[in-house]
Amino acid sequence: AQSVTQPDIHITVSEGASLELRCNYSYGATPYLFWYVQSPGQGLQLLLKYFSGDTLVQGIKGFEAEFKRSQSSFNLRKPSVHWSDAAEYFCAVGIHTGGFKTIFGAGTRLFVKA
């Protein structure tokens, strides 16, 4: 069955430090992959997406992610975290099943300390 695993429930980083959020997926075909961010009381905002082509994708707010087929991973990175990046981050896979739907991981909550 299709699934998305985010191994870290929460992560704390210092402001200005680098960040990597892990994501592994399970899907038999070539996946469409997404990272979304959710601030408290808000809906989900798309950070970036991978459909095909270059495996390193750039997103908004200085985020990037790398698709590694051999590891079934799509980790999110940012070289220097800002306090405003504190939020919940969701990795997701888009699958074709009589249509197209998006399956989400459980999320990683990011805390940023001064």
Helix (H, G, I), strand (E, B) or coil at 69: helix
Q: Does residue 6 contact residue 110 with C-beta atoms inside 8 Å?
A: no
The identity of residue 80, as a single letter, is S
For residue 12, the tally of other CB atoms under 10 A from its CB is: 11
Q: Is 90 in the site for another protein (CB under 8 A)?
A: yes
User: Using alpha carbons only, what angle is made at residue 33 by residues 20 and 92, rounded to the nearest 5 degrees?
Assistant: 75
Q: Is 22 in the site for another protein (CB under 8 A)?
A: no
Contact with another protein (CB under 8 A): which of 34, 63, 67, 74?
Answer: 34
Query: Which of 15/109 has CB closer to another protein?
Result: 109
Stretch that binds another protein, among 12-20, 22-30, 36-44, 59-67 (CB under 8 A): 36-44
Q: Which residues bind another protein (CB under 8 A)?
A: 4, 32, 34, 36, 41-46, 49, 90, 94, 96-107
